[in-house]
Amino acid sequence: MVSVVFGIVPRMMINEFDGVDWESMGHAYGPASDVPGWLKGMASADPGVRDKAFSDFYSAAHHQGDVYPCTAASLPFLFEMADSLATPDRGSVIELLLSIGQECRDMDPEGVYFTPVGTESRAHVDALALIGERAEVFVRWVMDPDEEVRRPAIECLGLFLADSARALEVLGSLLPRSSMVQQLFVVRAVATVALRDAAVHGATAGWLEDLAGDTAQVPEVRLAALVHRVRCTPGELGDALVPAAVGLIREIAPEETGGDDDAPCRAEAEPDVAAGTEPSPGVPPQVAAAFEDLERHGRVHAPTTSLLEALHTVLDDRVLERTALLSEQLCSADPGVRYDAIRMAKELIGQWRGDHSGLVVLIAGCLLPEDAYTSAAAAEALGALVPVSEPAREALAAYVEACRAEHGPRVWGPGSGWSAALTRKPSGRWRAWGICGRCPVCWRRWTRAPTPGVLCRWPGIWAARPVTSRRGCRSSWRRWTSRMRRSR
């Protein structure tokens, strides 16, 4: 049973919980009789109770994005909580509303789905209708003084307010007085309105084009406008698209992101995330490694990452242009941009044939002994790309020798794991081969306990607050990947 400080929950809500026949509904793991307790827990003054309540709801009542009758029945209470200033974490409640609404929009409005017990359900239609009826409240929430409330509300406004002209008017008014991060959400929401309503498509595309060319705006916002303009009109890519994007990447000043032109290709994550915590007694190293890898792969290190991923998606098979874009990303003044480009380059090389030696060399340039965090990502990419990663052999050999000099000759012994190790072949060449587990890059991975939380370097992009590994697997992890997927 969830312990809740009921004074925080509006009394009307408490009385109305009993008016819903929760027992007649189900979720992923059985009857929905426990849903009221989770809803009450979301409004608890105890952060631990709130976190468990959100986690349980995402896990059962919104399991893997499913929308059940009990999910739809929860919406009035979620709206009530989000609108109450007494609710401790209104932002997370609105994020839950956003997630439910997004899933409903992705489902077939004419389709009939089935609950876990086999009964027919059109809960997604009911839920989307209810969100649409109450969408006017998003106009007020995007003006809220709490930034954690405004950010998901901006996305909701772009998705659910039926009056597209009013949505664009409100979003346009937010742009001048918003932070750079919030401006990126605003620009994406504007594009969302254009993509769902053909009546405003042309005017919105023109607005985005003007914004992309406005030199008074910061380069991140201009890049967002450029990318989302292309998303709205994918048939009008043009030869000037990639050079324009490259130019904007170059304009992103190191001081805006905390980077340095001469800094190694490192991720400026929070110290407790990048450096890790002390090992916990009794935790098997492979379990610790699995949790750390999950957290590392879920991180976003620059506010422009989702934009650049969206641009690569639009460019698709234009490999030469994507290569030029990635070359600029891997040489960016922002270390976060460089880090996230490693994964994008690995995906391009793995998916499309061609001469990728230039990208391989740039990835190898991120192998620096003083930056174990990014070196691990670069080594993983090079190891996965064998034999295409052959041009990196000299850089890999130099990296190993530097680690041996610092940590001793046995640091690169045989073992298991995923990080790249080096083996000398009979020809005398060094190649990425097999896997380590005891190198200085990996040692932390094999001896640490799971990081107790993740705090993104860019709060509000995909991770607005610390989350435990448990919740990361259920709610926050799903929200990060879902948002990034939808931004493409």
3-state secondary structure the chain: CCCCCHHHCCHHHHHHHCCCCHHHCEECCEEHHHHHHHHHHHCCCCHHHHHHHHHHHHHHHCHHHCCCHHHHHHHHHHHHHHHCCCCCCHHHHHHHHHHHHHHHHHCCCCCCEECCCCCEECHHHHHHHHHHHCCHHHHHHCCCCCHHHHHHHHHHHHHHCCCHHHHHHHHHHHHHHCCHHHHHHHHHHHHHHHHHCHHHHHHHHHHHHHHHCCCCCCHHHHHHHHHHHHHHCHHHCCCCHHHHHHHHHHHCCHHHHCCCCCCCCCCCCCHHHHCCCCCCCCCCHHHHHHHHHHHHHCCCCCCCHHHHHHHHHHHCCCHHHHHHHHHHHHCCCCHHHHHHHHHHHHHHHHHCCCCCHHHHHHHHCCCCCCCHHHHHHHHHHHHHCCCCCHHHHHHHHHHHHHHHHHHCCCCCCCCCCCCEEEEECCCCCEEEEEECCCCHHHHHHHHCCCCCCECCCCCCCCCCCCECHHHHHHHHHHHHHHHHHHCC
Mean pLDDT over 36-60 rounds to: 95
Omega cis (within 30) before 152: no
What is the structure's pLDDT at 119?
86
Q: Does pLDDT of 137 surpass 80?
A: yes
pLDDT band, residue 7 (cuts 50/70/90): very low
Indicate the pTM of the whole model: 0.74
Q: Measure the CA–CA gap between 283 and 104, rounded to whole angstroms.
A: 40
Q: Does pLDDT of 351 surpass 90?
A: yes
Q: Which residue has the higher pLDDT, 144 or 276?
A: 144
Question: With b meaning 16 or more CB within 10 Å and e meaning fewer, what string describes 114-149?
Answer: ebeeeeebbbbbbbbebbeebbebbbebbebeeebb
Q: What is the pLDDT of residues 373-420, one digit of tens each?
A: 888 889 989 989 988 999 999 998 888 888 888 877 776 554 433 333
Mean pLDDT over 36-42 rounds to: 94
CA 78 to centroid of chain Cα atoms: 23
What is the structure's pLDDT at 459?
30
pLDDT band, residue 199 (cuts 50/70/90): very high
Q: Does pLDDT of 195 surpass 50?
A: yes
Q: Does pLDDT of 350 surpass 80?
A: yes
Q: Does pLDDT of 263 surpass 80?
A: no
Q: Does pLDDT of 81 surpass 70?
A: yes
Q: Which residue has the higher pLDDT, 462 or 49?
A: 49
Mean per-residue pLDDT over the chain, rounded: 78
pLDDT band, residue 190 (cuts 50/70/90): very high
What is the structure's pLDDT at 258?
43
Q: Which residue has the higher pLDDT, 283 or 141?
A: 141
Mean pLDDT over 453-474 rounds to: 31
Closest CA to 392 of 368, 417, 374, 367: 367
Mean pLDDT over 227-233 rounds to: 92
Q: Measure the CA–CA gap between 263 and 292, rounded to whole angstroms.
A: 25
Q: Measure the CA–CA gap between 389 and 359, rounded to whole angstroms.
A: 9
Q: Measure the CA–CA gap between 209 and 229, rounded to whole angstroms.
A: 6
Mean pLDDT over 331-360 rounds to: 92
What is the structure's pLDDT at 8?
45
Half-sphere exposure (Cβ direction) of 348: Cα atoms closer than 13 Å: 31
Q: Are 190 and 158 in contact (CB under 8 A)?
A: yes
Mean pLDDT over 337-360 rounds to: 94
Query: CA separation (Å) from 351 to 71, 317, 346, 354?
Result: 38, 10, 9, 10
CA 113 to centroid of chain Cα atoms: 28
pLDDT band, residue 40 (cuts 50/70/90): very high
Pick the most confident of 58-72, 115-129, 374-388.
Answer: 58-72
Mean pLDDT over 136-156 rounds to: 96
Mean pLDDT over 296-313 rounds to: 85
What is the structure's pLDDT at 376?
85
What is the structure's pLDDT at 28?
92
Q: Does pLDDT of 423 surpass 90?
A: no
Q: Measure the CA–CA gap between 55 and 46, rounded to whole angstroms.
A: 14
Q: Measure the CA–CA gap between 205 and 212, rounded to whole angstroms.
A: 11
Mean pLDDT over 416-441 rounds to: 33
Q: Measure the CA–CA gap between 229 and 233, rounded to whole angstroms.
A: 6
What is the structure's pLDDT at 296?
66
Q: Which residue has the higher pLDDT, 281 or 201?
A: 201
Beta-bridge partner residues of 467: 454
Q: Which residue has the higher pLDDT, 474 or 40?
A: 40
What is the structure's pLDDT at 298?
65
Domain locations in the chain as residue ranges: 1-134, 257-481
Q: Does pLDDT of 15 surpass 60?
A: no
How many of the other CB atoms lie within 10 Å of CB of 318?
Answer: 16
Share of the chain above pLDDT 70, in %: 71
Q: Are 432 and 382 in contact (CB under 8 A)?
A: yes
Q: Does pLDDT of 240 surpass 80?
A: yes
What is the structure's pLDDT at 285?
62
Query: CA separation (Å) from 296 to 205, 323, 424, 467?
Result: 36, 24, 30, 13
Q: Does pLDDT of 11 surpass 80?
A: no
Phi and psi (nearest 5°) for 327?
Answer: -60, -40
Q: Does pLDDT of 276 surpass 80?
A: no
pLDDT band, residue 102 (cuts 50/70/90): very high
How many of the other CB atoms lie within 10 Å of CB of 276?
Answer: 18
Phi and psi (nearest 5°) for 331?
Answer: -110, 10
Q: Does pLDDT of 2 surpass 70?
A: no
Question: The tokens of 296 are what?
Answer: 């590392």
Side chain identity, residue 24: S
Q: Are 328 and 249 in contact (CB under 8 A)?
A: yes
The answer to which of 131-145, 188-202, 247-261, 288-302 has the lowest mean pLDDT is: 247-261
Q: Are 334 and 257 in contact (CB under 8 A)?
A: yes
Q: Which residue has the higher pLDDT, 92 or 458?
A: 92
Share of the chain above pLDDT 90, in %: 55
